[in-house]
């Protein structure tokens, strides 16, 4: 029969694994939303295609940005019941056997390095995503492309350090259809180019007649 301490440790392990699993799923979702948002940005390579279908791509890009902001805000929340990194780290602080190789203090320092971009994201969420304050400016492109990307990379690294110590498993934080966004844009660009060539051939034929 299990002792009271053994039952307590078992309950803590079960709670940790449940919360950590949700956290990993949220982090994967944030990574997916960022990846799609990044590749739908109107760069020189894809701007013509995006502008041709702007009624679809503009709201789609904005929707992925909104979801990214919400996911990042959730996984870095200080709320005690949120499936966040801070909740996981607090659990590890109370029971280091859950991930014995993890230095909680060092990880908290690494998270603090991203405080500036996190504060910008939270401000954006509180005033734009959650409450639709139309006077709030959008986050600057450099902040999202640079700082947020580096932060997501750091969060995935920290997650895998915790996972590796706890279960000897790591996650790719990718999904099998991740290349679909690029494939879609490439397909639309190819169709656009073919249509343009067809129009040019018809013009030449008309002129020759």
Mean pLDDT of 53-59: 91
Asked if residue 195 and residue 105 are part of one domain, the reply reads: no
Asked if residue 118 and residue 187 are part of one domain, the reply reads: no
The rounded distance, in Å, linking the Cα atoms of 182 and 13 is: 41
Asked if residue 172 and residue 189 are part of one domain, the reply reads: no
Asked if residue 135 and residue 184 are part of one domain, the reply reads: no
- Can you give the residue range of the structural domain that contains 194? 179-209
Domain count, the chain: 2
Asked if residue 54 and residue 29 are part of one domain, the reply reads: yes
The rounded distance, in Å, linking the Cα atoms of 193 and 199 is: 10
137 versus 84: the higher-pLDDT residue is: 84
For tokens 């600057």, name the residue.
Answer: 140
Asked if residue 138 and residue 186 are part of one domain, the reply reads: no
Instruction: Give percent of the chain above pLDDT 70.
Output: 89
Number of Cβ atoms within 10 Å of the Cβ of 155:
22
Asked if residue 33 and residue 71 are part of one domain, the reply reads: yes
Asked if residue 149 and residue 208 are part of one domain, the reply reads: no
Mean pLDDT of 151-169: 95
Asked if residue 183 and residue 162 are part of one domain, the reply reads: no
Average pLDDT of the chain, as a whole number: 86
Residue 10 pLDDT greater than 70, yes or no: yes
Asked if residue 130 and residue 59 are part of one domain, the reply reads: yes
∠ Cα 147 118 46 (to 5°): 40
Asked if residue 184 and residue 169 are part of one domain, the reply reads: no
Asked if residue 110 and residue 13 are part of one domain, the reply reads: yes
């Amino acid at each position: 029969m299990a002792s009271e301490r053994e039952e307590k440790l078992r309950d803590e392990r079960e709670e940790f694994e449940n919360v950590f699993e949700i956290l990993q799923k949220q982090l994967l979702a944030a990574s997916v939303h960022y990846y799609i948002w990044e590749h739908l940005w109107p760069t020189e390579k894809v701007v013509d295609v995006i502008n041709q279908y702007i009624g679809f791509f503009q709201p789609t890009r904005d929707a992925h940005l909104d979801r990214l902001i919400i996911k990042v805000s959730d996984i870095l929340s200080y709320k005690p019941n949120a499936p966040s990194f801070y909740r996981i780290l607090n659990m590890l602080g109370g029971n280091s056997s859950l991930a014995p190789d993890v230095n909680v203090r060092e990880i908290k320092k690494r998270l603090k390095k991203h405080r500036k971009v996190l504060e910008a994201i939270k401000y954006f969420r509180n005033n734009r995503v959650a409450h639709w304050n139309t006077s709030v400016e959008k986050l600057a492109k450099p902040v999202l492309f640079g700082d947020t990307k580096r932060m997501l990379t750091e969060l995935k690294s920290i997650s895998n350090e915790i996972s590796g110590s706890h279960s000897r498993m790591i996650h790719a934080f990718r999904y099998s259809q991740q290349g679909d966004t690029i494939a879609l844009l490439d397909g639309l660009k190819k169709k656009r180019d073919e249509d343009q060539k067809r129009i040019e051939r018809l013009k030449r034929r008309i002129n020759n007649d």
